[in-house]
Amino acid sequence: SRGEVRVDLRKRLLYLQSEAHNVSAGVPGVRTRIVYRGDTGRLHARTEIGDFHQCWSVKLRGVGAGQAGSSPLRNPFLGAMPTKVKHARQLLLDGGTRSVGVFASDDQTVLRGLEVRDPRRRRVVEVTVKDWSTEVLPSSAFDRGEDAPACRDLSLLDRSQQPPTMDLLQVFMPALF
């Protein structure tokens, strides 16, 4: 599995793309692309599993979602608490029922990895970070991709419930979930 995450906290933008190969005998691969646009307050997702394609868009109800001119989102890593592990900190999600381990370089300036833990579901997701950058991103990095054939029948959802698979999105923009 591999993926890419791009975040612009000032403009309230997020892009997440992931691929998984050899998922099971019946599922050779899965590709997902997720874009959150703070100007609309909508999360756009496109999933491809073999020849199956689906697109949907959901209105988020979190702090400042869809409010033009909203203040930038706070850096979520600033709230991380120290741990006993060298160069690691911990963020609590959902009032403490889930957590994220944040691992940094020796000088603590480069993100090296994340570990999302959900004890209720007995699930741990480990993410290795490569090519960490804080460069300014072009607006085109956050295009929704609605021109793709599968997105012509876009499903629009008016109410949002936190999808259980959105743990990584909550790490980067917790105020929205």
Q: Is the pTM of this model over 0.75?
A: no
Strands 2-8 and 155-157: what pairing? unpaired
Residue 169 or 55, more confident:
55
Cα 152 to Cα 60: distance, rounded to the nearest angstrom? 21
pLDDT tens profile 1-43: 788 888 887 888 888 888 888 888 888 889 988 888 888 888 8
Q: What one-letter code names the amino acid at 27?
A: V
pLDDT in tens, 33-90: 888 888 888 888 888 888 888 888 887 766 555 565 566 677 777 777 878 887 777 7
How do 52-59 and 155-157 pair as beta strands? parallel
Q: Hey, which bits of 68-149 come out as E strands?
A: 81-82, 88-93, 98-104, 111-118, 123-128
Q: Model confidence over 85-101: pLDDT tens digits?
A: 877 777 777 666 778 88
Q: Is 41 helix (H, G, I), strand (E, B) or coil?
A: coil
The pLDDT score that the predictor gives to residue 152 is 63
d(CA 35, CA 21): 22
Task: Choose the CATH number for 2-176 among 1.20.120, 3.40.50, 2.50.20, 2.40.50.
Answer: 2.50.20
Return the pLDDT at 160: 47
Locate the domains of the chain by residue range: 2-176
Contacts of 123 (CB under 8 A, 6+ apart): 116, 117
Q: Provide the pLDDT for residue 144.
A: 63
